[in-house]
Amino acid sequence: IRSLNSDLNSMICTALVNRTRHRMASDVRAAGEKIRNRRLFDCLTHDTNAIVNNSANDAEVNQVASSVEKQIQYALALDLNRRPRLSRTNAALIQVDERDKQANERARYMCINTAILWGWRDPVLTNKQRCRIAKAACRQVAYNFGYRKPLGSSQMPAWYGMLNRAILSGESSDPLSPSFFLRKSYIDSIENIHPGCILELFRYAQMRRGGLENFQ
């Protein structure tokens, strides 16, 4: 009987511990979701005192967060294979380019701005949540701009980094233009490491091929 009572007590204690852990995990998730919704509300309403002063009630915060979530779900559900492609307001037709082309600078700007508006840069979010927002933003921009396929959401951090570097360095060129490259050419790299090497090779080539040869 004592053995049975001991086993029963052990089972009850284990059940209580598991229930407590489950409840704590649930409370932590709920608190994290509440903080995320508050930060998103603050970002969208530009109310810097909203969290400190608690000027917005939970209903208003949840309403904004729910609205953003609906926008993300709607963007992920957009059908890029639809022909003819209607605008999202059904007011006009979108001309679809059937070629596989990369995102232009305007599309990249729109992807970044849309994703940030939806909380993509919020450090509270997990990597999975940020990837989902980036995917939704790129898909919506691809739909609006007439791309045949979704834009590469995996390139969003690179685009954002290029934009930040251009802002910090005062670069006058457009960093998000597809024709803009941050890397130096192979010849420039050699010339930086070995000054005069390219000219010496050119002179040697002239000696071997003749004086009418040029850099080409």
> H-helix or E-strand containing 123?
none
> H-helix or E-strand containing 93?
strand 93-94
Task: Give the lowest-confidence range in 78-82, 106-110, 168-172.
Answer: 168-172
Task: Give the lowest-confidence range in 34-38, 140-144, 163-167.
Answer: 34-38
Return the pLDDT at 4.
Answer: 45
Q: How confident is the model at residue 52 (pLDDT cuts 50, 70, 90)?
A: very low
**CB of 85 within 8 A of CB of 93?**
yes
* Mean pLDDT computed over every residue of the chain: 79
- Please state the pTM of the whole predicted model: 0.65
Task: State yes or no: pLDDT of 160 exceeds 70.
Answer: yes
Task: Round to whole Å and give the CA distance between 187 and 198.
Answer: 8
Joined together, the tokens standing for residue 211 give 């004086």
